[in-house]
Structure 1
Amino acid sequence: MSLSVLRNYALLPLRMAGSIFGNCAMTIFHLIAPGKFFQAFLEDTGLQQDKKYLDCVQNSVGDIAFFWQRLKAMWFSNMQEANLTVEVGSPAPNPVLVRLSDGVECRLLDMAKAGRPLVINFGSCT
């Protein structure tokens, strides 16, 4: 086990405590002042003009109905981060992907072709 993985596992309890605290705080804040968290988000991101498209998000941002789903997603994310084994000079990970064109599972490096760089865009369409 590499040193970075051991460090990540040592920090895992702190990350999980932070996730639990953040999730509870977000839920409580939403119950006390519904809409304030959403308004602060709109102001911080400058999305006031797109508010009509984001109104459906307003009531679910800190909704208690999504408490466990958010907590499970945070747990999964923290566990994924703890298992990272990235080292300089080590081979690149080759995760399983699903091709959007036909829904078939493939590996990331299957997309690479000789003479053409493989570009991975970690962006968002929203």
Structure 2
Amino acid sequence: MATGLLAGALLTEACILVPYWQKMPAKTFLRLHHKMAPSLFRYFAPLTVIGTLLPIITFIFVYSTSKASWPAWLLSAICAVCLLSFYLLFFRQANNRFSTTTDPEIAAKTLAAWAKVHMIRTLIAIVGFSAAIWGGMPI
């Protein structure tokens, strides 16, 4: 269930919030980001942690008990690790850039890159959730 919640939250962000942010003037986006960032972090951090840990734990359990669904859970676990890697390798720095810059050009360029990488992350989350369903025990 957590994997599906995370995928759904990322998809909502990609389809609703990101287009809204991109339509804003960069200065307005930066002001909004300063206000919204703590709330978004409090929302996404637990989902990301749970949505990452549960597929990995489930894969270990399923594999150690020799269940036939282990390949699906392996795929779900790989997707979960990828999602965490996206945060560590890109989103943490990009979000910090939003918090520290006042330059509208930098904000606009960072948001454009953020939106592209976020769509990739969202698709990986959907694949991970689909694999969990395929594994027979959606988490």
Bigger proportion of residues as helix: 2
Structure of greater Rg: 1
* Bin of the TM-score, shorter chain as denominator length: 0.3 to 0.5
TM-score of the pair, normalised by structure 1: 0.35
Bigger proportion of residues as strand: 1
